Structure 1
Amino acid sequence: MPLSSKVFSLIMSVMIFCSMFSFAQADREANGLNFASRSEVIGQHGMVATSHPLATQIGLDILKKGGNAIDAAIAANAATGLMEPTGNGIGGDLFAIIWHEKSQKLYAINASGRSPRGLSYDNLMKELDKIDSETIPPYHLLSVSVPGVVDGWFELHKKFGSLPMKEILKSPIHYAENGFPVTEAISYRWRNSVPFLKSQPGAFESTFTIDGEGPKKGQIFKNPDLGKTLSLLAKSGRDAYYKGEIAKKIDKWMKENNGYLRYKDFANHKSEWIEPVTTNYRGYDVYQVGGNVQGTAVLQMLNILEGYDLKSMGYGTVETLHAFIETKKLVYEDRAKHYADADFQDVPYDILLSKDYAEQRRQLIGETAMSDVSTGVEVIEDGDTVYLTTADSEGNMVSLIQSNFRGMGTGFVVPGLGFSFQNRGELFSTDPQHPNVYEPGKRPFHTIIPGFVMKDGKPFFSYGNMGGAYQPIGHVSILTNIIDFGMNIQEAGDAARWDHSGSSEPTGKITDQLNSSGQVNLESGIPYEVVRQLRAKGHKVEVGNSFFGRYQGIMRDHDKEIYYGASESRVDGQAAGY
């Protein structure tokens, strides 16, 4: 019996659809798109990628109003400080790398704050004795250093900005005063932080809770105090924070609560424009911030890994992961011993970043897991941060990272100001022989690192992967996914990740020599056969149960004159272009 025309048409439609799906799937596999959760975002005139969709839209609006990438980055960062206080805010620090199209030059800024000038090392040790601690505790006023982010904004704006700060901060102020819906992942971290932090001295509970609790997903949250602070900055500039009303309020509150920062610490604060450190990896010039930041570890790891044919070894294989893990162990020992404030310590970059040194270290990697790695005080394996990147129609690109360190920071909120202080001072060493030892007016070690890649003298890729001590691992994973394994920038972030903990730390304290290879954690996308193979090599491996960071990236295609954008698929972020 002949088929009716309707049935025949339906069958043919299904066959055509299946054929199209098969061709599309084959095309994705041929181009290495097996891991992408979604397509890259493509824009011709500008791109913004942040960890919060509303912050991304605020940055994009700035670009559409005629602002440049620097203006958009400042606006987006002000918004994330409001909307994602679990990772950043104007009580924290900032680092950025900027490609400036007009001058055809790459710039870097260290906008991190310094320790109290009135607190000596000897007095610090006496204070620690009182609380029976050998290290600086994270939720104590001893851990508070001068917040550098606001000065960082104004330094960026003074050098490269286009729109007035009143216009740049207008939307963040509006959302602070009128409210915004809290996103899912941020709500989860926020609600987990509140039970502990709301007991801290100051105005944390009245500032950051709704009826004594962290806001639920979709709940509208307002921070009118932060709105007033941002309005004051828009009107009076950075001096309102470091020499005016805000600094005076902080000074008064610190004295009343036995804190250590004083007005002069704020008045003397300044950001520093620096030369980024760099290495070449397979023809790509990779840039990081050095000094008291762990960016140098990315470059050291790449130098060692350059000696392996990763493409032939394959993504996610036991050979590749073993090389990654062992390389991380070697580099993090240097990180623990050498990275510190360049004003106080001469970091030996000529040795650390040399290809000869990388070759020497590579020779230490064998067929089984190294087990003579010392275990440090595990204080920075986790850390909440925001990373964002922007690009504009002129060709300017910004790679910016900003953090309170431990989630919402210390939880110390000066009444009326609307933000919590960071606890970066926790990362000072108390060992007087260590390069990162506490000293007055010194910048502590930082985990937060912005990344930037140049190719043939042109800006290629602005990226970051926040997450405490994981960040160098994340940077290396993203870059090797793109350069060695041919992934696009969205897939590079979506692909299953690995982590390793148990290395020595820049705090300088070693608990013991456990003769341990440390702990490897893999996301579930890594085949279990690989887990077994790694264990056979002596690695202690667990699936999941770790924080694998969060990623944003923008790639510039000079031939097509477009930008590709990508954002972390595991949480709330968004990349958007126009």
Structure 2
Amino acid sequence: MRSLFAAVLLTLPLTAMCADRITGKPFATRSEVYAPHAIAATSHPLATQIALDVMKQGGSAVDAAIAANAALGLMEPTGNGVGGDLFAIVWDPKSKKLYGYNGSGRSPKSLSLAEFQRRSLTEIPPHGPLPVTVPGAVDAWFALHGRFGRKPIADDLAPAIRYAREGHPVHEVIAYYWDRSVPTLSKWPGFTEQFTVAGDGDGKRRGPRTGEMWKNPNLANTLEKIAQGGRDAFYKGDIARTIDAYFKANGGFLSYEDMAAHTGEWVEPVSTNYRGYDVWELPPNGQGIAALQILNLLEPYDLKKYGFGSPEHVHLFTEAKKLAFADRAASYADPDFYRTPVAKLVSKEYARERGKLISMDRAAKAVEPGVIPQLNEGDTIYMTVADADGMMVSLIQSNYRGMGSGMAPPGLGFIFQDRGEQFVLKEGHPNSFAPGKRPFHTIIPAFVTKSGQPWLSFGVMGGAMQPQGHAQILMNLIDFGMNLQEAGDAPRIQHDGSTEPDGQAKAMSDGGELDLESGYPYETVRALMRKGHSVRFADGPYGGYQAIMVNPNGGYVGASESRKDGQAAGY
């Protein structure tokens, strides 16, 4: 049988090595999910069921998204929570428009660049009080709910509160990342007490294991206060005062005044057209337009002819990513402090000019940004929900690096994000640290329309992988003809080593590293190495995907990430 299988492989085209060994079709771990009325795709099955329950009870897709996100903060604290930020894109069937919300928080006003310099820091540390910024998720819930919600927000938060009090069994991938976070974060006040359990008789605390019940009564109390008192209960009430006292006692700078001053903002999504499909992202301080830049650079090439998994496919994607990320490092920042030239960066003319730098034969070792900044006087969960009325929500929320900063105020049941780590400690850079400024942000929701109608709500969580993942999903769907589940299950590409938005100290000079997930043929790997790519194997950095597509026959199609604990389901 083994020799027969080998003989069959030798008769298949190169790209079929990435396909199902029986049918020759692109590989998928499971079928797409079809539903006639509504659908939800999240990274946790219980959160998906919560979203469906809310919609069955008359809630909109936004109500369902808020309910599921609140539950994920309890069930998947390794990726998100009320201590983090939130971005969303909503398709409103009444106005037939997309609405974007930037729910990112700002740096403490009492912390300055001079303070970091006084401490002889050249980078903001990843944990502890210094990278903490104001959490924007709760404000975003209420902003989204105020415009698109149908049920009382107390009803939306009720399922998460119930699970926090009664408990739920921890899922496998979440347990793995939770256990990895405990040794690093246990040094910070409040983490051990609120996010670990008693060990196995050795006196050590640990994260909950797969299948163990987890309760968080402190978070239940926090969510109840928010449900009863609204957003101000979080930003201006006892919760904010507890936060203020906690950071004052532990060498931090986040204050009551910082919390009380917070507000997110509605923003206009930005788009480019890729082979007849309008792809929408949010503008900086997020990195979404990098996906648009990558797609613009790839559009002149006949990727369908080259085929999925071919050397040309991987090489062209990688070189386009390098060019887009050079601009990402140089000029994506808080628009209140620096006006990123978004229109130019996502234009076809700019892509044509930059595309001249791509060689089909050689991998670029170093790439300069195409726009030089001119200064004027910014781990994760992704989820998407669609309701019976046609409303669709693309939502992403994060604490940033895994479980965040480790800073967990007593009695509140959540951990603060460490998003401020993304600031640059260098004067004159668009993303330089300043008081009251939003950092460069990695979390990005995405949406696609076709002929003015909704087609796809999707996202790929995972740091710098996100715009790379967005572009790859669309290539898989549009260029390679995969279905929604196949597009997410297909082996992914991640290029690492581009110049980062934290300044030129880490400028790419060696071409970076190309990670290929299992499934790419060795012939492709060898061809890439001949072009000068440094190819390596990495297990895990390829992000997490959820998606909902409008079914042209009625209802929706859903898909969920096979690399996570997630589920797509509908009714």
TM-score range relative to shorter protein = over 0.9
Mapped pair 1:329 → 2:322: yes
What amino acid maps onto 1:390 in structure 2?
V
CA contact (8 A) 1:499 1:548 kept: yes
Instruction: Write out per-residue CA displacement over residues 203-241 of structure 1, whole angstroms, 9 at most, x where no aligned residue.
Output: 111211111110000000000000000011111110000
Q: Matched residues in 2 for 1:356 and 1:509: separation? A: 26
Q: Matched residues in 1 for 2:565 and 2:346: separation? A: 36
Q: Matched residues in 2 for 1:484 and 1:556: separation? A: 19
Q: Matched residues in 1 for 2:172 and 2:357: separation? A: 44
What amino acid maps onto 1:59 in structure 2?
A
Q: Give the one of 531, 539, 542 matched to 2:533.
A: 539
Unaligned ranges ≥5, structure 2: 1-19, 199-204, 370-378
Q: TM-score, normalised by structure 2?
A: 0.92
Instruction: Write out per-residue CA displacement over residues 303-343 of structure 1, whole angstroms, 9 at most, x where no aligned residue.
Output: 00001011111111001110000111111000000100011
Q: Matched residues in 1 for 2:252 and 2:537: separation? A: 42
Instruction: Write out per-residue CA displacement over residues 60-86 of structure 1, whole angstroms, 9 at most, x where no aligned residue.
Output: 100111101000000000011000000
Aligned residue for 2:91?
A: 99
Query: The residue matched to 1:301 in structure 2 has which SS?
Result: helix
Alignment of 1:178-189 (within 5 A): 178-189=166-177
Unaligned ranges ≥5, structure 1: 1-27, 376-383
- The Cα of 1:195 is off from its aligned counterpart by 1.5
Alignment of 1:514-529 (within 5 A): 515-529=509-523
Q: Give the one of 27, 32, 42 matched to 1:35.
A: 27
Q: Give the one of 425, 444, 451 matched to 1:456.
A: 451
Aligned residue for 2:339?
A: 346
Alignment of 1:82-481 (within 5 A): 82-126=74-118, 128-129=119-120, 133-201=121-189, 203-211=190-198, 212-366=205-359, 367-373=361-367, 384-481=379-476
Q: Give the one of 68, 73, 85 matched to 1:81.
A: 73
Q: Matched residues in 1 for 2:74 and 2:168: separation? A: 9
CA contact (8 A) 1:292 1:443 kept: yes
Mapped pair 1:64 → 2:21: no
Query: The residue matched to 1:552 in structure 2 has which SS?
Result: strand
Q: Matched residues in 1 for 2:538 and 2:107: separation? A: 36
Instruction: Write out per-residue CA displacement over residues 357-390 of structure 1, whole angstroms, 9 at most, x where no aligned residue.
Output: 1011111111111112489xxxxxxxx1000000
Q: Which deviates more, 85-94 or 114-123?
A: 114-123
Q: Matched residues in 1 for 2:366 and 2:491: separation? A: 28
Mapped pair 1:550 → 2:544: yes
Q: Matched residues in 2 for 1:406 and 1:574: separation? A: 23
What amino acid maps onto 2:353 in structure 1?
Q
Instruction: Write out per-residue CA displacement over residues 276-321 of structure 1, whole angstroms, 9 at most, x where no aligned residue.
Output: 1111111111000111100010000000000101111111100111
**Residues 546 and 49 of structure 1: CA distance in aligned 2, closer, same or farther (over 3 Å):** closer
Q: Which deviates more, 349-358 or 316-325?
A: 349-358
- The Cα of 1:397 is off from its aligned counterpart by 0.1
CA contact (8 A) 1:293 1:448 kept: yes
Q: Matched residues in 1 for 2:367 and 2:504: separation? A: 14
- What is the RMSD computed on CA atoms of the aligned residues? 1.6
Query: The residue matched to 2:34 in structure 1 has which SS?
Result: strand
Query: The residue matched to 2:206 in structure 1 has which SS?
Result: coil
- The Cα of 1:458 is off from its aligned counterpart by 0.3
Query: The residue matched to 2:159 in structure 1 has which SS?
Result: helix
- The Cα of 1:29 is off from its aligned counterpart by 9.8
- The Cα of 1:34 is off from its aligned counterpart by 2.4
Query: The residue matched to 2:41 in structure 1 has which SS?
Result: strand
- The Cα of 1:509 is off from its aligned counterpart by 3.9
What amino acid maps onto 1:433 in structure 2?
G
Count of residue correspondences = 537
Q: Matched residues in 1 for 2:51 and 2:136: separation? A: 21
Instruction: Write out per-residue CA displacement over residues 225-270 of structure 1, whole angstroms, 9 at most, x where no aligned residue.
Output: 0000001111111000001110011011111112101111111100
Mapped pair 1:501 → 2:501: no
Over alpha carbons, which structure has the higher Rg?
1
**Residues 315 and 553 of structure 1: CA distance in aligned 2, closer, same or farther (over 3 Å):** same
Q: Matched residues in 1 for 2:25 and 2:89: separation? A: 29
Aligned residue for 2:12?
A: none
Q: Matched residues in 2 for 1:83 and 1:95: separation? A: 20
CA contact (8 A) 1:374 1:504 kept: no
**Residues 524 and 31 of structure 1: CA distance in aligned 2, closer, same or farther (over 3 Å):** closer
Q: Percent identity?
A: 56
